[in-house]
């Protein structure tokens, strides 16, 4: 169980292009992400990240250190790092917005509707 004083958890969703070849390429790219992508995430306070897939729907769980993580700062850092810009452009060739994704966004937060710890 996550200690919410030490970390914060985000659940995000995104879709993939409905193409088995592209899905396989996306999964292959995540077997070992680029070191600069890994380092960027860690520098921004991301302490854990997992991505799950069901069909074309992706679900990401991201754990962050709330003392270091700032989503806006992370987005700005991504725009100035050429490797992150390239990675995101490559990933977008595999990804597609969900039907509920606002224009111009990719990963969107999911709404938590249940927590066993609160029962």
Q: Write out pLDDT tens, residues 63-84.
A: 999 999 999 999 998 899 999 9
pLDDT value for 16: 98
Which H or E element spans position 9? strand 8-16
Reported as a single tens digit per residue, the pLDDT across 25-72 is 999 999 999 999 999 999 999 999 999 999 999 999 999 999 999 999
Give the Å distances, CA to CA, from 88 to 8, 20, 117: 24, 20, 35
Residue 7 has pLDDT above 70, yes or no: yes
Reported as a single tens digit per residue, the pLDDT across 99-117 is 999 998 999 999 999 999 9
In a domain, 39, yes or no: yes
Q: What is the CATH number of the domain that holds 66?
A: 3.30.70.1090
- φ, ψ for residue 60, nearest 5 deg: -115, 135
Tokens of 35: 């070191």
Tokens of 71: 């989503």
- pTM of the predicted model as reported, rounded to 2 decimal places: 0.90
In a domain, 31, yes or no: yes
- Number of structural domains the chain divides into: 1
Give the residue numbers spanning the domain of 51.
8-100
Check residues 4 and 41 and name the one with the higher pLDDT: 41
User: Going along 17-98, which residue ranges are E strands?
Assistant: 46-54, 57-64, 95-96
In a 10 Å sphere around its CB, with 0-12 CB exposed, 13-18 middle and 19+ buried, how is residue 14 labelled?
buried
Average pLDDT along the chain: 94
pLDDT value for 6: 82
In a domain, 56, yes or no: yes
Residues 6+ apart with CB under 8 A from 50: 60, 61
């Amino acid at each position: 169980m996550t200690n919410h004083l030490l970390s914060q958890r985000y659940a995000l969703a995104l879709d993939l292009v409905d193409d088995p070849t592209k899905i396989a390429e996306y999964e292959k790219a995540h077997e070992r992400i680029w070191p600069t992508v890994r380092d960027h995430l860690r520098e921004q306070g991301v302490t854990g990240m997992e991505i799950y897939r069901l069909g074309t729907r992706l679900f990401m769980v991201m754990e962050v250190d709330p003392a270091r993580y700032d989503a806006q700062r992370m987005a700005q850092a991504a725009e100035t790092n050429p490797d992150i810009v390239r990675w995101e452009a490559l990933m977008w060739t595999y990804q597609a917005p969900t039907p509920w994704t606002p224009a111009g966004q990719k990963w969107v937060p999911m709404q938590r509707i249940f927590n066993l710890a609160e029962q």
